A and B are shown apart, each in its own frame.
Chain A
Amino acid sequence: MDTVPADASRPPVPAPPPAPSRIGRALADAWTITLRDLNHWALRPGAVVVGWLFPVMTVLMFGGLFGGAITTPGPGGYFEFLMPGMFALAMLFGLETTMMAVTTDAAKGVTDRFRSLPMSSSAVVLGRCAADMLNSVVGLVVLAGTGLLLGWSWHGGRGSALTALGLLLLLRFALLWVGIFIGLAASGPEAVTAVQILVWPVGFLSAVFVDPATMPAWLGAAAAWNPLSATAAAVRDLFGNPGFAGETWAAQHAELLAVAWPVLLTAVFLPLSVRRFRRLRS
């Protein structure tokens, strides 16, 4: 019954199809990897949906619990203030998605399988990047929809709304590299748990929920310089949502920092991730 088809196991390697350019191949491979993630979504919708709903839950929790107690600048209530911060925080939550995917692949040997194939070496990372960015875009849409239902709205033009979206995704892009780096450096799933916990102090120690000026001086300074604060403040401004007129240099240059921080993070963690990926060989 188990007869071997003539072509099944006999070398030589079949003639490869007409070779497209290097970049073309890298993109084709990356798309295969992205497709793999989309298949994951379809086969295990629970995980990805929970990822999208978690920020929604956080909004409802903080809006409901603290909304009454926190005085917000400007009209429109707490949600008007909170939503832009939550968008930024949702980008930070995305770090877990990236890390989890990277550590799982490494632990299950899937990374090694990819590395043993004649595929483009950048495709694994490019595919991861595309899938995670797509995931975050959907997450942002879900979160924005929730915001609209709760009374949040954007007041600027379409251009500034798109700029705000761009800044959020830029932050996500930077955090992607942080996630890949930690995911590769991590020895096991404990590291993912550690990051899941650390996300919270980073989130709280920012201008996402409250004005840093109300914090003790040193915490306030840290919060003001938090990359999340910069993106949150810039996005508030672009959406025309109320924010704080912070005194610090960081608060006054939020737009600049909302670009500079992600660029800096990427500049540090992208090469580190590449190096780490290469180090898998040693």
Chain B
Amino acid sequence: MTDAGSAITAHDVRKNYGGPAGGAGLNGFDLQVGKGSVCGLLGPNGAGKTTAVRILSTLLDMDAGRASVAGFDVRRQGRQVRERIGLVGQYAAVDEVLTGRQNLVMFGRLNRLPAAAAARRADELLERFSLAGAARRPASGYSGGMRRRLDLAASLIVSPPVLFVDEPTTGLDPAARQEVWTAVRELVDAGTTVLLTTQYLEEADRLADRVCVLAAGRVVAEGTPDELKSALGGDRIDLVLSGPEDTEAARAVAARIASGEPDVDRTAHRIGIPVAGRVRALIRLATELNEAGIEPEDLALRRPTLDEVFLHLTGGTPATGTAAGRADPADAVAAAAPQEASG
């Protein structure tokens, strides 16, 4: 993809917040998002998602690097960029005292719509985001989902060609999450370029054409969800043991059959084994376990979940505790190399 066909580009963007923590926000961040596509920026807390969004939306200066949005340089042409973006920040940024309608009219006026047009546009958006009934109530009384939708509406007043959405559903209940997804999907269908950050694979999988996995301030893998899955080496066998005593022996068996490093979860006595030949590997494993006198509690063949892809690439330790902490970022980059090359 060339820069010309991209709605969003970033080259080696760096940002260090300094301070006592010396927090690196971005550390050589590269990104290209094609016009009209949806890019999911996936990463755990602290990966740098918000930093990336704030830099691209001109709220924050970068220390080094280059970035452009809608063809305009983020650093030097901030005003032109701001005229072409909508930003939905990580926390709903609406005036809580004002009513939903007053919020939209105000943002419409600040987007240079004449008074009558701003009012008309506000009513249109309230209708579209199912907020018409609450239009004249103060936003402080809105539920989390309603506030999010108001926030989204406020970002769409002038139908920006590029929209940034930072963790739109974090902290929302499933129903509200569904509402926000519907709203975002409509935009996507209408052709807006969207950069969406999220901690949820499910969200990226549903909304994004391409997923960029962000870890420690840089993109460690990029591709469609399917490509990312194959980067992990295809299918997996889940081996669950009845107790801890056989874990070592089983791991040794698994290592002979695996196409990659097996993930050992010692507390759950579970071993995740990436394999190349599906059923053949399963039979071989069953046979060898039998020969070694190991009686598995459960043995199952399955495709890797996106969570595994994610953990594998970011080297994070899962909150739920399935795979052991692994690969440092260098490993992850190596795993992602085929995808990166295409970016």
Residues from 197 to 212 in A contacting B, C-beta threshold 8 Å: none
Is A32 in the interface zone, CB < 8 Å from B? yes
Is B187 in the interface zone, CB < 8 Å from A? yes
Interface pair A113/B87, CB less than 8 Å apart = yes
Is A7 in the interface zone, CB < 8 Å from B? yes
Closest-CB distance, B71 to chain A (whole angstroms): 12
* Contacts A32-B106, A112-B93, A280-B59 given; does A13 touch B84 at CB 8 Å: yes
Instruction: Give the size category of B's interface with A.
Output: 35 or more
Bound complex: CA A187 to CA B256 (Å): 56
Interface pair B82/A10, CB less than 8 Å apart = no
Residue of B93, B156, B186, B189 near A108 (CB, 8 A) is B93
Interface pair B159/A7, CB less than 8 Å apart = yes
- A32 proximity list for chain B (CB < 8 A): 106, 109-110
Interface pair A108/B96, CB less than 8 Å apart = yes
SS class of chain B's interface: helix, strand, loop or mixed? Answer: loop
Which of A62-70, A71-79, A114-122, A237-245 is the contact stretch?
A114-122
Residues from 110 to 126 in B contacting A, C-beta threshold 8 Å: 110-114, 124-125
Q: Which residue of A lies closest to B127 (CB)?
A: A5
Bound complex: CA A32 to CA B130 (Å): 26
Is B303 in the interface zone, CB < 8 Å from A? no
- A16 proximity list for chain B (CB < 8 A): 112
- A280 proximity list for chain B (CB < 8 A): 59
Q: How many A-B residue pairs have CB under 8 A?
A: 119
- B93 proximity list for chain A (CB < 8 A): 108-110, 112-113
Residues from 108 to 151 in A contacting B, C-beta threshold 8 Å: 108-110, 112-119, 123
- A113 proximity list for chain B (CB < 8 A): 87, 89, 93-94, 107, 154
Interface pair A13/B59, CB less than 8 Å apart = no
Interface pair B159/A10, CB less than 8 Å apart = yes
Interface pair B94/A13, CB less than 8 Å apart = no
Is A2 in the interface zone, CB < 8 Å from B? yes
* Contacts A5-B128, A117-B110 given; does A13 touch B82 at CB 8 Å: no
Contact with A along B122-163 (1 / 0, CB 8 A): 001100101000000010000000000000001010111100
Residues from 83 to 110 in B contacting A, C-beta threshold 8 Å: 83-85, 87, 89, 91-99, 102, 106-107, 109-110
- A12 proximity list for chain B (CB < 8 A): 161
Is B175 in the interface zone, CB < 8 Å from A? no
Bound complex: CA A13 to CA B330 (Å): 42
Interface pair B61/A112, CB less than 8 Å apart = no
Interface pair A8/B128, CB less than 8 Å apart = yes
Closest-CB distance, A185 to chain B (whole angstroms): 15
Q: Which residue of B lies closest to A20 (CB)?
A: B112
Interface pair A11/B124, CB less than 8 Å apart = no
Residue of B61, B79, B94, B95 near A118 (CB, 8 A) is B79
Q: Which residue of B lies closest to A280 (CB)?
A: B59
Which of A17, A108, A113 has the most CB atoms of chain B within a 10 A radius of its CB? A113
Q: Which residue of B lies closest to A29 (CB)?
A: B110
Contact with B along A44-57 (1 / 0, CB 8 A): 10000000000000
- A14 proximity list for chain B (CB < 8 A): 158-159
Interface pair A281/B128, CB less than 8 Å apart = no
Is B6 in the interface zone, CB < 8 Å from A? no
Contact with A along B183-194 (1 / 0, CB 8 A): 000110111100
Interface pair B124/A5, CB less than 8 Å apart = yes
Q: Which residue of B lies closest to A9 (CB)?
A: B190
- B95 proximity list for chain A (CB < 8 A): 36, 108, 110
Is A193 in the interface zone, CB < 8 Å from B? no
- A7 proximity list for chain B (CB < 8 A): 159
* Contacts A36-B106, A118-B79, A281-B60 given; does A109 touch B91 at CB 8 Å: yes
Is B182 in the interface zone, CB < 8 Å from A? yes
- The 9 A-B residue pairs with the shortest CB-CB distance, nearest first, are A109-B93, A11-B161, A9-B190, A113-B93, A118-B83, A116-B87, A118-B82, A32-B109, A119-B110
6 pairs of residues in contact across A and B, judged by CB atoms under 8 Å: A29-B110, A32-B110, A39-B102, A40-B98, A112-B89, A117-B111
Given contacts A36-B102, A40-B98, 20 further A-B contacts (CB under 8 A): A2-B128, A2-B186, A7-B159, A8-B159, A10-B159, A10-B192, A13-B84, A13-B159, A36-B106, A39-B102, A44-B97, A110-B95, A112-B87, A112-B89, A114-B110, A115-B59, A116-B59, A119-B112, A123-B110, A281-B59
